[in-house]
């Protein structure tokens, strides 16, 4: 497990945003959805997806996040996801979504994440931090700085919903994450849509040359799965394999692998 910097163990080593953020004032939970590896029919990772305490959808939680509590919410998401994964005995990677605008200084804001990983004996190299390509970021350079800092700590980095916004290729030119997740709008019926096929093949070619691994999300049919596999994409996520499991690890149906 990666060593924890001594400079981040002092209570004074917290960023201004984290210190001044108001109490969260609400609770939430997680559902976990697997990301499968077709090559050996294993689970590569589980993504932590925000839910209400009774399993309500993410919007019911995110509607309560605002400018004054987003720092606290982002920190709580990380620590709660790690604690939940450890309690479930997760042996795969854990993928956590983060809010770039809630990270004031990445080298300090990461402190609670490191503490949670240490407390639950969760290896840092099994943590993946995802950011949405389409998410508005006040300072584009700030985002790339966060991703670089996270990689230095040993985390894997990912761009989620790649292809959903307009900045994906620009971000990829400035920073090459470990992973990108193709947006489900590109994936839907890709086995029947020539235009989508051309776009997906092009992205795969670019990522192969840059050393970036591609994940396809939103898989809902065997046809989509098979076309993407033929393109060289082996990491996939979607209802075809398993729906998110509330406070649990989902099991992949044997039929999901069948030809």
Give Cα separations from 66 to 28, 31, 73, 104, 160 (angstroms).
15, 22, 9, 15, 22
Rounded to whole angstroms, the Cα distance separating 56 from 96 reads 19
Per the confidence metrics, is the pTM higher than 0.75? Answer: yes
- The DSSP output letter for 152 is H
What tokens appear for 62 in the block?
Answer: 């995110």
| Domain range 14-251, CATH architecture | Alpha-Beta Barrel (3.20)
Pick from 64, 132, 126: nearest CA to 98: 132
- The DSSP output letter for 47 is E
**Does residue 113 sit in helix, strand or coil?**
helix
Tens-digit pLDDT profile for residues 58-108: 999 999 998 888 888 988 999 999 999 999 999 999 999 988 766 656 676
Distance, C-alpha 118 to centroid of its chain: 20
- The DSSP H or E segment spanning 200 is helix 194-210
- The answer to whether 224 and 190 are in contact (CB under 8 A) is yes
Q: What string of pLDDT tens digits covers the 259 residues of the chain?
A: 444 443 444 444 555 555 555 678 899 999 999 999 999 999 999 999 999 999 999 999 999 998 888 888 988 999 999 999 999 999 999 999 988 766 656 676 788 899 999 999 999 999 999 987 555 555 567 788 888 888 999 999 999 888 766 567 888 888 899 999 999 999 999 999 999 999 999 999 999 999 999 999 999 999 999 999 999 999 999 999 999 999 999 999 898 998 7
């Amino acid at each position: 497990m990666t060593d924890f910097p001594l400079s981040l163990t002092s209570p004074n080593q917290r960023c201004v945003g984290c210190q001044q953020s108001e109490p969260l004032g609400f609770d939430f939970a997680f559902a976990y959805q697997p990301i499968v590896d077709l090559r050996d029919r294993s689970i590569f990772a589980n993504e932590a997806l925000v839910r209400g305490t009774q399993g309500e959808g993410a919007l019911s939680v995110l509607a309560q996040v605002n400018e004054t509590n987003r720092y606290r919410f982002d920190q709580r998401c990380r620590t709660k996801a790690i604690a939940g994964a450890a309690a479930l005995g997760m042996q795969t990677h854990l993928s956590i979504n983060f809010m770039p605008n809630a990270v004031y200084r990445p080298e300090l804001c990461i402190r609670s994440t490191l503490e949670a990983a240490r407390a639950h004996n969760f290896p840092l190299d099994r943590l993946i931090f995802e950011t949405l390509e389409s998410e508005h970021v006040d300072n584009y350079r700030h985002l790339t700085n966060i991703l670089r800092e996270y990689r230095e700590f040993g985390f894997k980095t990912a761009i989620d919903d790649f292809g959903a916004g307009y900045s994906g290729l620009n971000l990829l030119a400035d920073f090459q994450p470990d992973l990108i997740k193709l947006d489900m709008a590109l994936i839907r019926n890709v086995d029947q849509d020539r235009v989508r096929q051309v776009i997906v093949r092009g992205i795969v070619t670019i990522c192969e040359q840059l050393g970036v691994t591609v994940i396809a999300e939103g898989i809902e049919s065997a046809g989509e799965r098979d076309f993407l596999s033929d393109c060289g994409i082996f990491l996939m996520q979607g209802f075809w394999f398993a729906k998110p499991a509330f406070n649990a690890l989902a099991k992949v149906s044997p039929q999901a692998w069948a030809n």
